[in-house]
Amino acid sequence: MAEHQPTRSRNNNRKCFLLTPILSHVAMYLMCVVVITTLKLIDAARPSSNSIVQTSSYQVSKLYSVNNPHSNRTYHAAVVDFAPVSFPFQFPQLNSEIARKILKPNLDEFEKIIFEMMSNHSTSFDRPDIIVFPEYALFGPGLTDREKLRLFFEPIPNDLPFTNICDSANDQFYILKRMSCLSSKYGVYIVFNMGDVQNCNVTTNKKCPVDGMFLFNTNVVFDRKGNLITKYHKTHLYFEDGIDPGDGKPVYFTTDFGIKFGLLICFDIVFEEPLHSLLNDIKVDAIAFTSWWVNFPPYWNGLAFQQALSYSYRTNMIASSSGASYTSSGSGIHMKGKSIGVYNPSLKGHSQTVFAQGTTTSSSKRRHAANVEPIVQDMRMIFDESNPQHILTSFTFTDPNHSNYSTIIPFIPVRGKSYDFANIVAGSTSCNFKFTISPFSNISENDSNNYFAMVVTDGQVFKPKFEQASCSVMKCGSYLNCFIFLEWKLLVKDTQVVLSDLTIEMKSLVTNEWRDDVFPMLLGDEGNLFIGDLKESSFFKTNAVLNMETGKTPAYVSMKNVETKFLGATLLSLKRRK
Alpha carbons 270 and 135: distance in angstroms, whole number: 16
**Smallest Cα–Cα separation from 484: which of 423, 395, 389, 413?**
395
Q: Are 367 and 312 a contacting pair, CB within 8 Å?
A: yes
Q: Are 137 and 193 a contacting pair, CB within 8 Å?
A: yes
SS (H, E, C) 151-180: CCEECCCCCCCECCHHHCCCHHHHHHHHHH
**Smallest Cα–Cα separation from 137: which of 65, 191, 194, 222?**
194
Q: Is the pLDDT of residue 62 over 80?
A: no
Of 345 and 414, the one with more pLDDT: 414
- What DSSP string describes 168-236? ---GGGHHHHHHHHHHHHHT-EEEEEEEEEEE--TTT-TTS-TTSEEEEEEEEEE-TTS-EEEEEE-SS
Local structure of 109: helix, strand or coil: helix
pLDDT of residue 72: 54
Of 166 and 40, the one with more pLDDT: 166
Local structure of 539: helix, strand or coil: coil
User: Alpha carbon of 177 to those of 164, 165, 226: distances in Å?
Assistant: 9, 5, 9
Q: What's the burial of 168, exposed, middle or buried (CB within 10 Å: 0-12/13-18/19+)?
A: middle
Band (pLDDT 50/70/90 cuts) for residue 295 is: confident
105 φ, ψ (degrees, to nearest 5): -60, -35
Band (pLDDT 50/70/90 cuts) for residue 180 is: very high
108 φ, ψ (degrees, to nearest 5): -60, -40
Stretch among 33-42, 249-258, 341-350, 546-555 having the lowest mean pLDDT: 33-42
Gyration radius from the chain CA atoms:
23
Of 168 and 12, the one with more pLDDT: 168
Q: Are 301 and 329 a contacting pair, CB within 8 Å?
A: no
pLDDT digits (tens, 9 = 90+) for 181-223: 999 999 999 999 999 999 999 999 999 999 999 999 999 999 9
pLDDT of residue 345: 72
Q: Are 542 and 519 a contacting pair, CB within 8 Å?
A: no
Alpha carbons 164 and 166: distance in angstroms, whole number: 5
Alpha carbons 280 and 469: distance in angstroms, whole number: 24
**Smallest Cα–Cα separation from 427: which of 387, 454, 396?**
396
Alpha carbons 199 and 214: distance in angstroms, whole number: 6
Alpha carbons 575 and 578: distance in angstroms, whole number: 9
pLDDT digits (tens, 9 = 90+) for 468-485: 999 999 998 888 888 876
pLDDT of residue 240: 95
Mean pLDDT of the chain: 79
What mean pLDDT do residues 400-409 have?
Answer: 87
pLDDT of residue 441: 96
Band (pLDDT 50/70/90 cuts) for residue 400 is: confident
Q: Which residues have CB under 8 Å from 541's CB, separation 6+?
A: 375, 376, 556, 557, 558, 559
Q: Structural domains in the chain?
A: 28-146+163-194+218-342 (3.60.110.10), 369-577 (no CATH)
pLDDT digits (tens, 9 = 90+) for 330-365: 888 888 888 888 777 776 653 343 332 222 223 344
pTM: 0.84
